[in-house]
Amino acid sequence: MLIEVILFSFLAGITVFLGGLTSYYFEKTVHDKQLKQKTIHFLIAFGTGVMLSAVCFVLIPKGMENLSILTSIFIFLFGGVSFYYLDIFIQKNKANIPQVLAMLLDFIPESIALGSLFVYDHSLGILLAFFIAMQNFPEAFNSYLELRKTLFSKTKSLIVLFLLSFVGVIFSVLGFYVLNENLEITSSLMLFAGGGILYLIFQDIAPSLRLKNSRFIAVGVNIGFVIGMLGKAIS
């Protein structure tokens, strides 16, 4: 069981590095400014759709199964409020790396939940790993570009993202050992992450998707959500 947790959390996390690597080649080979803008916005929209599907199909419904409705609502709202204050902190430190920090905000609690889920529901654990992998890729793509803007070299930017790829493994193993006998805490983490992700989507991500003379960008959200639907149907 532990080997599976490590394997699937690694597969979910390695897309952080793969997203950064793709962004590296994109930055290197694509010189059309308008095409760059459209591609970045579309990938962000796609990632948003995947995040929404993770909230709708896994984090909220499965989190509510083991908690009362009042407890579920409280934890869900607590997640949103917590991310609100973390967002304020990030905005006050704009010289740093808000996109990378935002990626970690949802990656860490999801990874802890992933590790503990394998004990209770193997197929659901695999589905959550799939969702994490799909949302990490576009977030990492944008994070690489952000790191480059903060004067990180190309090599250093890729090294940072490569190291962050293993964050999921560390926290998944932690979840597997610490939470494997406490389904209530696992459910709480999923609801907390769901509330936080919804806050991030509608506060920070959705407003930035709009691109002048390019309505098709928003379709990326639908495509990302369809990926989630397919994952749910297969699991």
**Which are the contacts of 138, defined by CB distance < 8 A and separation ≥ 6?**
19, 43, 44, 46, 47, 50
Query: Which amino acid type is present at position 227?
Result: I
Q: What confidence score (pLDDT) does residue 148 get?
A: 84
CA atoms within 13 A on the CB side of 21: 9
Give the C-alpha separation, 201 to 81, whole Å: 14
Q: Express the helix, strand and coil content of the chain in percent, nearest 5 each.
A: 85, 0, 15
Q: What confidence score (pLDDT) does residue 64 get?
A: 92
Q: What confidence score (pLDDT) does residue 209 get?
A: 67
Q: What confidence score (pLDDT) does residue 170 get?
A: 92
> Is the distance from CB of 192 to CB of 79 less than 8 angstroms?
yes
Q: What is the model's pTM?
A: 0.84
Residue 22 tokens, joined = 């793709």
User: Residue 70: is it exposed, middle or buried by C-beta count within 10 angstroms (0-12/13-18/19+)?
Assistant: exposed
Residue 123: CB atoms within 10 A of its CB come to 11
Give the C-alpha separation, 200 to 194, whole Å: 10
Would you give the DSSP letter of residue 180? T
User: Residue 148: is it exposed, middle or buried by C-beta count within 10 angstroms (0-12/13-18/19+)?
Assistant: middle
Left if phi > 0, otherwise alpha if psi is -120 to 50, otherwise beta: which for 201? alpha
Q: What confidence score (pLDDT) does residue 94 get?
A: 58
Per-run averaged pLDDT (10 residues), the chain, 235 residues: 88 92 87 79 85 88 90 94 83 66 81 83 85 88 84 86 91 85 84 89 73 74 88 79
Give the C-alpha separation, 209 to 47, whole Å: 11
Cα-atom radius of gyration of the chain, to the nearest Å?
Answer: 17
Domain boundaries, the chain: 36-234
Quickly tell me which residue has 């709708």 as its tokens: 56
